Amino acid sequence: KDTAGAMTGALTYKNMSVEDVMTPMERTFMLDVDDKLSFEKIAAVFKTGYSRIPVYEISRHNVIGLLFVKDLIFIDPEDEVPIRSFIQIFGRNVHVVWPNDNLGEVLAELKKGKSHLALVRDVDNEDDTKDPVYVMRGIITLEDIIEKIIGDS
């Protein structure tokens, strides 16, 4: 990309929001905490090429942890290790952001934390006969923001 493009990207990203650059739910690769790390599962993970995989329980809207693909180096597929015994349970350092959060602020947050990935979570209160519920809208990584800054996408 040319210099002018990069400068425009750097100037505009601060006014953009998470939903403008996130990877939406439909394209987010996740694992079910009740699955096992069989040969087929591990092969499917490697095939995606991603380094961080959100792990959900029961519903894809209920992400309970992250699997770091580099940790799979210790896994013997023959053992069929349960994903549950493997994930890092959510701690302070895993970010949850809102779809309309400002990219400049999220970039600063992600740089501070240990994880380069945040969950994009929203509240669904469309149906006013029910309690509002959290819904997952997607994920965002440092890469998504940086691509926007350098005007690469």
Longest Cα–Cα distance of the chain, Å, equals 54
CB of 127 to ligand ATP, least distance (A): 18
Residues near ligand ATP (CB under 6 A): 23, 27-29, 50-53, 62-64, 90, 94, 96, 116, 119, 121, 134, 136, 139, 141, 143-144
In DSSP terms, 63 is beta-bridged to: 56
CB of 102 to ligand ATP, least distance (A): 18
CB of 126 to ligand ATP, least distance (A): 17
CB of 51 to ligand ATP, least distance (A): 3
Q: Which is nearer to ligand ATP, 31 or 81 (CB)?
A: 31
Q: Which is nearer to ligand ATP, 4 or 92 (CB)?
A: 92
